[in-house]
Amino acid sequence: MKLKNKALLYNFIGFLIFFLIIRFSLHAFTSINYIVIALVAGFGAIFLAPKFAVVYHGKKEKLMMKWIFMKGVKEIE
């Protein structure tokens, strides 16, 4: 699998996990409209999910991850 595809897949999985956690938590503890819950969960997941990207270092490609709970950028092997 190409690294760009891996980065896209990891971004989607990270977003999905946070989206579902926030959405079901808001649904369980509040009684607001479903559209508002989905919007809040979407923006929250965008903010909280780790970001994966492919970086070209010379002739070599590297998969890197940045997250708000981690200091700096980490290389994923």
At residue 12, the pLDDT reads: 96
CB 72 within 8 A of CB 12: no
Instruction: Find all residues with CB under 8 Å of 22, minimum gap 6, and list them.
Output: 40, 41, 44, 45, 48
Specify the pTM: 0.86
Could you report the per-residue pLDDT of 27-50, keeping only the tens digit for each? 999 989 999 999 999 999 999 999
* Residue 39 domain boundaries: 3-76
The number of distinct structural domains making up the chain is 1
Distance CA(47)–CA(4), nearest Å, equals 21
